[in-house]
């Protein structure tokens, strides 16, 4: 389809509705604030509206007292959104956004009204709505045909089949001439329920053009919808793998720390912290999987705070970074490279200790050891090296 010249339809703005409780989706927080992949549902919806050609200001309607949650959910978007406090019903929330836009020196000519629970607006749907505006329509909305057989029900018994030839499922965003939408809200009998704004526009005598909707525009209602709708739009949990490698020199007169345990040996490892080479490699592997730098970036040797520090503190930090990214450690594999001491007698205890620090079960932790057959610094017993890999599932 040819690119739409949005200027032909005047100025565009959008009302993004995000004042609902969204409790049926679970998660202990309103669904619009939950993450879907790297961003919140609300941020995805906002970004989708911004991609509509010619889109101007977006007014985000939120519940009273939710500005901090909404701001955090939209921290990744540009430009910064404008918040308006919504009302008890959907109609009340749209009304308040209309009132705000009406007070502008130059109100918009057309307005999109969109539910934040529909986080992804395919570009094709936006183009169809703009094309309807170019044709002079007062209003337009995306719809999908009803595919299932419909029946009436009477006391849990099936009644007559309802013809579905002219039935459609309604989606958002719906788009309106601004003055038409405002008049529809002005003239609406508030004793009547209103499930969408197109219904109100039809009530004052304006036609609403139907354009093809899209399955990718489906609404998140229940917990299982997050994975389903995210998957349809190429967004969802993803596996990340990182690797780490570290080396420390062996010196006499120091305790030897490996995998968070003090191991009996004639020499210990030299370093700014306790020099636990295995944990350092594992921390780097986790940070690498998260693309969050390396251990030296977060705990620089130049900082006296970390002089002699226990390395399990670094691993706890990496664990908490996984949680902050809504992720979980799937598997960690550590290989210690040395001639001595023998790692085998301590392997299970090392796995237990790493699992304890990372708050995972031991079956997710592997610890192995190898020698260099007498070659190199490790073969000469000058130091110990370790390499690690970590697999993390993020964005659940």
Residue 213 lies in a domain: yes
Secondary structure in 3-state letters for 186-230: HHCCCCCCCCCHHHHHHHCCCCCEEEECCHHHCCCCCCCHHHHHH
Q: Does residue 330 share a domain with residue 193?
A: no
Q: What is residue 234's predicted lDDT score, i.e. its pLDDT?
A: 76
Per-residue pLDDT reduced to its tens digit, 290-308: 999 999 999 998 999 999 9
List phi, psi (to 5°) of 250: -85, 135
- Give the structural domain span for 46: 6-232
Q: Does residue 263 share a domain with residue 140?
A: no
On the question of pLDDT at 4 being above 80, the answer is: no
- DSSP structure string for 259-293: TTEEE--SEEEESSS---HHHHHHHHHHHHHHT--
Q: What is residue 24's predicted lDDT score, i.e. its pLDDT?
A: 62
Q: Does residue 269 share a domain with residue 359?
A: yes
Q: Are 175 and 111 in contact (CB under 8 A)?
A: yes
Q: What is residue 7's predicted lDDT score, i.e. its pLDDT?
A: 47
Q: Which residue has the higher pLDDT, 62 or 234?
A: 62
Q: What is residue 23's predicted lDDT score, i.e. its pLDDT?
A: 61
Q: Which residue has the higher pLDDT, 2 or 209?
A: 209
Q: Does residue 320 share a domain with residue 201?
A: no
**Number of domains comprising the chain:** 2
DSSP for residue 231: H
On the question of pLDDT at 327 being above 90, the answer is: no
Q: What is residue 25's predicted lDDT score, i.e. its pLDDT?
A: 55
Residue 195 lies in a domain: yes
Q: Which residues pair with 249 in a beta bridge?
A: 270, 383
pTM for the model = 0.64
Q: Does residue 158 share a domain with residue 83?
A: yes
Q: How distant, in Å, are the alpha carbons of 42, 51, 65, 78, 210 from that of 285?
A: 32, 36, 40, 32, 52
Residue 368's pLDDT band (boundaries 50, 70, 90)?
very high
Picking from 232, 262, 292, the residue at the C-terminal end of a domain is 232
DSSP 3-state of 100: helix
On the question of pLDDT at 51 being above 90, the answer is: yes
Written as six digits, the tokens of 175 are 């788009």
Written as six digits, the tokens of 340 are 């001595």
Q: Does residue 199 share a domain with residue 264?
A: no
Write down the residue that tokens 């921290």 correspond to: 75
Mean pLDDT of 330-335: 98
Mean pLDDT of 202-216: 95
Q: How distant, in Å, are the alpha carbons of 52, 131, 142, 326 from that of 122?
A: 9, 15, 11, 26
Picking from 232, 248, 283, the residue at the C-terminal end of a domain is 232
Write down the residue that tokens 């019903």 correspond to: 89
Q: Are 122 and 49 in contact (CB under 8 A)?
A: no
Closest CA to 378 of 256, 267, 250: 250
Q: What is residue 1's predicted lDDT score, i.e. its pLDDT?
A: 33
For residue 23, is it left (φ>0), alpha (ψ between -120 and 50) or beta?
alpha
Per-residue pLDDT reduced to its tens digit, 114-156: 999 999 999 999 999 999 999 999 999 999 999 888 888 988 8
Q: Does residue 214 share a domain with residue 242?
A: no
| Distance, CA of 166 to CA of 356 (rounded, Å) | 60
Per-residue pLDDT reduced to its tens digit, 149-175: 888 898 889 988 988 888 999 999 999
Q: Does residue 252 share a domain with residue 281?
A: yes
Q: What is residue 64's predicted lDDT score, i.e. its pLDDT?
A: 92
Q: What is residue 273's predicted lDDT score, i.e. its pLDDT?
A: 94
Closest CA to 116 of 198, 47, 199: 47
Q: Does residue 175 share a domain with residue 257?
A: no
Per-residue pLDDT reduced to its tens digit, 67-108: 999 999 999 888 888 899 999 899 999 999 999 999 887 889
Q: Does residue 202 share a domain with residue 71?
A: yes
Q: Does residue 260 share a domain with residue 132?
A: no
Closest CA to 229 of 213, 216, 211, 245: 216
Neighbours of 297 (CB within 10 A): 10
On the question of pLDDT at 29 being above 80, the answer is: no
Q: What is residue 389's predicted lDDT score, i.e. its pLDDT?
A: 98
Q: Does residue 110 share a domain with residue 147?
A: yes
Q: Which residue has the higher pLDDT, 323 or 175?
A: 175
| Distance, CA of 66 to CA of 221 (rounded, Å) | 20
**Which CATH number covers residue 118?**
3.90.550.10
Q: What is residue 2's predicted lDDT score, i.e. its pLDDT?
A: 35
**Which CATH number covers residue 311?**
3.30.1330.50
Q: Which residue has the higher pLDDT, 283 or 10?
A: 283
| Distance, CA of 127 to CA of 119 (rounded, Å) | 17
Residue 1 lies in a domain: no
Written as six digits, the tokens of 284 are 């780097």
Q: How distant, in Å, are the alpha carbons of 149, 151, 154, 166 from that of 161?
A: 7, 4, 12, 14
203, 205, 211, 212: CA torsion to nearest 10: 30
Q: What is residue 395's predicted lDDT score, i.e. its pLDDT?
A: 67
Question: For the chain, what is the mean pLDDT?
Answer: 91
Q: What is residue 6's predicted lDDT score, i.e. its pLDDT?
A: 45
On the question of pLDDT at 346 being above 80, the answer is: yes
Secondary-structure breakdown of the chain: helix, strand, coil percentages, each rounded to the nearest 5: 35, 30, 40
């Amino acid at each position: 389809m040819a690119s739409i010249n949005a200027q032909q339809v005047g100025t565009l703005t959008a009302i993004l509705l995000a004042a609902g409780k969204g409790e049926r989706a679970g998660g202990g927080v309103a669904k619009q604030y939950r993450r879907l992949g790297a961003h919140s549902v609300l941020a995805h919806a906002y970004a989708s509206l911004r991609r509509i050609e010619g889109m101007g200001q977006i007014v985000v309607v939120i519940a009273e007292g939710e500005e901090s949650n909404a701001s955090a959910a939209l921290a990744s978007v540009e430009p910064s959104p404008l918040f308006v406090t919504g009302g008890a019903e959907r109609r009340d929330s749209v009304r308040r956004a209309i009132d705000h836009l009406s007070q502008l020196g130059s109100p918009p000519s057309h307005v999109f009204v969109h539910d934040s629970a529909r986080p992804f607006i395919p570009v094709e749907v936006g183009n169809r709505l703009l094309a309807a505006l170019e044709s002079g329509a007062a209003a337009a909305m995306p719809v999908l045909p009803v595919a299932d057989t419909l029946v009436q029900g009477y006391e849990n018994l099936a009644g007559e089949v309802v013809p579905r030839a002219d039935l459609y499922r309604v989606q958002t965003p719906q788009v309106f001439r601004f003055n038409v939408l405002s008049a529809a809200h002005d003239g609406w009998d508030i004793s009547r329920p209103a499930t969408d704004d197109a219904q109100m526009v039809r009530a004052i005598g304006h036609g609403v053009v139907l354009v093809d909707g899209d399955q990718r525009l489906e609404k998140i209602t229940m917990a299982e919808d997050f994975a389903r709708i995210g998957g349809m739009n190429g967004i969802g949990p993803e596996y990340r793998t990182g690797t780490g490698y570290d080396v420390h020199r062996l010196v006499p007169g120091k305790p030897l720390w490996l995998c968070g345990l003090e191991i009996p040996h004639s020499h210990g490892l030299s370093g700014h912290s306790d020099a636990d080479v295995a944990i350092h490699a594992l921390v780097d592997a986790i940070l690498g999987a998260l693309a969050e730098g390396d251990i030296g970036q977060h705990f620089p040797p130049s900082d006296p705070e970390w002089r002699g520090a226990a390395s399990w503190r670094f691993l706890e930090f990496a664990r908490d970074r996984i949680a902050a990214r809504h992720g979980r450690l799937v598997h960690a594999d550590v290989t210690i490279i040395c001639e001595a001491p023998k790692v085998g007698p301590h392997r299970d205890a090392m796995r237990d200790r790493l699992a304890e620090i990372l708050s995972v079960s031991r079956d997710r932790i592997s610890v192995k050891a190898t020698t260099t057959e007498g070659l190199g610094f490790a073969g000469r017993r000058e130091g110990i090296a370790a390499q690690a890999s970590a697999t993390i599932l993020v964005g659940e």
